[in-house]
């Protein structure tokens, strides 16, 4: 699959096929991370986070690819790994081949925001199965409310909407509790 | 309720970029002028990002499982299974049509199931989780070697507001002491024996493969206890909320006896007599957790130079140490030490 195909798929929301192609880069990234002092687990974590970041970046309407997509992906991985290594007080020295040198500004990467989002993901683990399903169908797979009402056996579109509202309210409440207790979540 | 519902709908439309024309302008103006609305929209957007990330994560996990940790190997296995599966279907059809006689067929079928088992087996390796958990459980149950609890309580003149109980593995012949021993001034524990001796000796034999001497605190465990008495304290914020915690610290003692690579982690946190905190609660009490971890690692960071472990030739070598700091509101802090596994 060509880069443009992958990008257009991601933009259309068909992430699964794109991920399958992109995941083929994992062994190379892993080798790079392990060579500069990481281990398998952290490599996997960083690669997954980088994939998510890449997809978020590509989905932005203003996204413009200036290099090969795989090069861009290596760049993100390198950045994420440097970031992680700094936190662990290690200085990774080995060079990465075929990569872009990206900075936090290039990626709009904000540590605080990332932590906040990570916290929200944990919050989302706490809501009910039905809410999770509803959120995923509506916000990720972009199904319309009618389809969701059919799929999840709601009596009407309106009751599905009300349920969505209730779920969101619950999630927000949980999120606020987390925020109030520790306004700056330092992970 | 009704108005809030429509507001949510509107935010949904706005964030997905479907709000257009006059409505869009109106809504943007409302966001500009209304602080609470703005923060609500921001939070909503964050929440949606988190929802998408979660969904992406599970997709990635399934893709990763598909390509497998072993990469090509798993693909190969799948291919073999598929081939065999197709073969099985063909044979079964033949069998149904009665082309084979019964005896031959049963032989073939058993052959096939045998092969199937062989090719499927490697996949099971992926489900190695329970084993790891068992290992963790085993590790987190420290063995008590000796305790200075008693001694400490007798000597309550100490200025701190907590008492520290230190339990260490003795440096002797792997001898275990069950009762808290009142005398812990020097490391002479070798006379005390218990029924648990056998187990310890076994693990000891396993560990001391090429170690003649383990790393130790200068002046022995008694000195280490004194040092901890002086420096450990219960975080005030945790006392106020009556939270208890167990912190696991792993660190290296280098050839020079320096402590490095301290890796601390809160393995359990709970309110007194309450259930262990889940992820959200942990997140909410992050500060307190960090206070515990900071307190425990402070001890390690400020320790004087250790005596490094030595190998058979008597040369100093790097060793890994593991300590557990069990903060307990009633009993103070219990410190266990475990050696490298």
Instruction: Give per-residue pLDDT as tens, B57-109.
Output: 888 888 888 775 444 444 444 445 455 555 555 444 444 444 444 444 444 44
pLDDT of residue B148: 31
Q: What pLDDT score does A43 carry? A: 92
**CA-based nearest residue to B176, from B140, B150, B143, B149:** B143
* Cβ separation B8–A126 shorter than 8 A: no
Query: Does A135 lie at the interface with B, CB-CB under 8 angstroms?
Result: yes
Residues A47, A41 contacting (CB under 8 angstroms):
no
Do A3-108 and A112-181 have matching folds? no
Any CB–CB contact under 8 A between A175 and chain B? yes
A130: helix, strand or coil = helix
* Extended beta strands in chain B, E state: 146-147, 164-168, 211-213, 243-253, 259-271, 309-311, 316-317, 319-328, 332-339
DSSP letter at B276 equals: B
Residues A65, A72 contacting (CB under 8 angstroms): yes
Closest partner residue to B283 (CB to CB) among A51, A55, A122 is A122
Contacts of A51 in chain B (CB under 8 A): 56, 60
Q: Quick one: average pLDDT of B301-325?
A: 83
Under 8 Å CB-to-CB from B32, ≥6 apart: which residues?
A: B38
Secondary structure (3-state) at B282: helix
Report the percent of chain B where pLDDT is more than 70.
56
The whole-number average pLDDT for the span B47-66 is 87
Mean per-residue pLDDT, A111-121: 86
pLDDT at res. A50? 93
Pick the residue from chain B with its C-alpha nearest to A166: B5
In this structure, how many other beta carbons lie within 10 angstroms of the beta carbon of residue B3? 7
Say how far apart CA B167 and CA B336 lie, in whole Å. 5
pLDDT the model gives residue B319:
83
Q: Do B46 and A27 touch (CB under 8 A)?
A: no
Q: What is the mean pLDDT of chain B?
A: 64
Number of neighbouring beta carbons within 10 Å of residue B79:
11
How many Cβ atoms sit within 10 Å of the Cβ of residue B76? 14
CATH number of A3-108: 1.10.1740
pLDDT tens digits, one per residue of B129-177 = 333 333 333 333 333 332 333 233 333 333 333 445 555 543 333 333 3
- Judge whether residue B116 has pLDDT over 90: no
Residue B305 has pLDDT above 90, yes or no: no
Q: What is the mean pLDDT of residues A38-66?
A: 89
| Whether B133 contacts chain A with CB within 8 A | no
- Over range B281-302, report the average pLDDT: 82
The runs of H, that is alpha helices, within B170-263 are 197-207, 220-231, 236-240
CATH 3.30.70 fits A112-181, yes or no: no
What pLDDT does residue A46 have? 92
Q: How far apart are CA B287 and CA A185, in angstroms?
A: 8
- The domain ranges of chain A are 3-108, 112-181
| Alpha-carbon radius of gyration of chain B | 31
CA nearest to A69, candidates A13, A14, A10, A111: A10
ipTM rounded to 2 decimals:
0.84
DSSP state of A71: H
pLDDT at A51: 92
For residue A111, what pLDDT is reported? 84
Among A residues 70-129, those touching chain B with beta carbons less than 8 Å apart: 113, 116-117, 119-126
pLDDT category of residue A47 using cuts at 50, 70 and 90: very high
Question: A30 and B69 in contact (C-beta within 8 Å)?
Answer: no
B48 and chain A: CB distance < 8 Å anywhere? yes
* pLDDT tens readout for residues B230-259: 777 788 888 888 888 888 888 888 888 888
First to last CA, chain A: 38
Using pLDDT thresholds of 50, 70 and 90, give the confidence band for residue A187. very low
Q: Which residue of B has its CA nearest to A161?
A: B5
């Amino acid at each position: 699959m060509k880069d443009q195909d992958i990008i257009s798929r991601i933009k259309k929301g068909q992430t699964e096929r794109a991920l399958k192609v992109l995941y083929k880069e994992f062994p190379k990234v892993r080798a790079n991370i392990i060579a500069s002092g990481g281990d398998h687990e952290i490599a996997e974590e960083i690669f997954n986070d980088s994939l998510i970041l890449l997809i978020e970046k590509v989905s932005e309407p203003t996204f413009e690819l200036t290099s090969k997509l795989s090069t861009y992906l290596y760049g993100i991985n390198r950045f994420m790994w440097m970031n992680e290594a700094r936190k662990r007080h290690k200085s990774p020295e080995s060079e990465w081949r075929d990569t872009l040198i990206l900075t936090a500004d290039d990626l709009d990467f904000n540590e605080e925001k990332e932590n906040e989002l990570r916290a929200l993901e944990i919050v989302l683990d706490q809501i009910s199965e039905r809410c999770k399903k509803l959120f995923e169908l509506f916000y990720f797979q972009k199904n319309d409310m009618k389809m969701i009402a059919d799929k999840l056996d709601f009596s009407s579109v309106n009751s599905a909407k009300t349920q969505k509202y209730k779920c969101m309210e619950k999630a927000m409440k949980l999120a606020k509790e987390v925020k109030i207790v520790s306004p700056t979540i330092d992970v | 309720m009704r108005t809030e519902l429509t507001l949510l709908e509107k935010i949904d439309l706005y964030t997905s970029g479907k709000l257009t024309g006059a409505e869009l302008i109106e809504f943007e103006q409302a966001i500009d002028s209304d602080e609470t609305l703005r923060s609500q929209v921001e939070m909503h957007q964050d929440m949606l990002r988190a929802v998408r990330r979660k969904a992406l994560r599970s997709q990635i996990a399934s893709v990763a499982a598909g390509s497998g940790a072993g990469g090509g190997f798993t693909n190969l296995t799948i291919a073999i299974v598929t081939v065999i599966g197709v073969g099985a279907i063909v044979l079964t059809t033949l069998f149904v049509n009665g082309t084979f006689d019964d005896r031959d067929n049963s032989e073939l079928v058993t052959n096939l199931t045998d092969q199937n088992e062989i090719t499927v087996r490697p996949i099971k390796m992926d489900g190695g989780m329970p084993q790891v958990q068992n290992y963790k459980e085993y590790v987190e149950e420290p063995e008590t070697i000796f305790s200075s609890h008693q001694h400490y309580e007798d000597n309550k003149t100490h200025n701190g507001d907590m008492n520290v109980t230190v339990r260490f593995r003795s440096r002797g012949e792997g001898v275990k002491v069950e009762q808290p021993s009142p005398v812990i001034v020097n490391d002479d524990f070798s006379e005390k024996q218990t029924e648990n001796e056998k187990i310890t000796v076994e693990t000891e034999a396993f560990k001391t493969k090429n170690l003649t001497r383990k790393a130790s605190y200068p002046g022995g465990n008694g000195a280490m206890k004194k040092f901890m008495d002086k420096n450990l304290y219960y975080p005030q914020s945790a006392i106020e909320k009556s939270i208890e915690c167990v912190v696991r610290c792993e660190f290296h003692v280098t050839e020079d006896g320096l402590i490095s690579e301290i890796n601390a982690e809160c393995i359990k946190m709970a309110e007194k007599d309450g259930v262990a905190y889940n992820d959200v609660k942990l997140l909410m009490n992050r500060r307190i957790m960090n206070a515990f971890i900071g307190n425990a690692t402070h001890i390690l960071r400020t320790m004087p130079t250790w005596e490094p472990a030595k190998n058979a030739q008597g040369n100093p070598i790097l060793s890994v140490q593991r300590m557990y700091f069990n903060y307990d509101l009633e009993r103070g802090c219990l410190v266990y030490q475990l050696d490298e596994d």
